[in-house]
Amino acid sequence: MGRLGGVVNEWEVKIGGGHFFPPLQRNCLYFALTTQPRHRWIPKYKIQKKILRKLFPIVNSIPVKFVIVLVLVFNTIVLSLQVRWGRATNQATQPAGEVGAGH
């Protein structure tokens, strides 16, 4: 039974378990979980294979992953400080009098 007084809710039936998602979000999740790649890129020339063989171990190494995590942490800290100190550049945070000033 659904949560609407004995009527089975459409979202409960399709998703199951009582999880509520709007139809657009449900379609987006379905697409993200079921999409397959159209084709796989395979290098044609020897120089491409040679570059990939040398580049892949570097990109897939632990130090590169560590640098990426550090950049993400730094970015998160900077964004949180901007929000904390009121320096966010989002138009929604600006007072109404400052929007469009100069016209």
Which residues have C-beta within 8 Å of that of residue 77, sequence separation ≥ 6?
none
What is residue 24's predicted lDDT score, i.e. its pLDDT?
Answer: 83
Is residue 8 scored above 70 in pLDDT?
no
What is residue 23's predicted lDDT score, i.e. its pLDDT?
Answer: 78
Q: How many CB atoms lie within 10 A of CB 26?
A: 15
Per-residue pLDDT tens for 22-44?
778 888 888 989 999 888 888 88
Is residue 66 scored above 80 in pLDDT?
yes
Per-residue pLDDT tens for 70-102?
999 999 999 999 888 876 565 555 555 555 555
Query: Residue 26 and residue 34: Cα distance in Å, rounded?
Result: 12
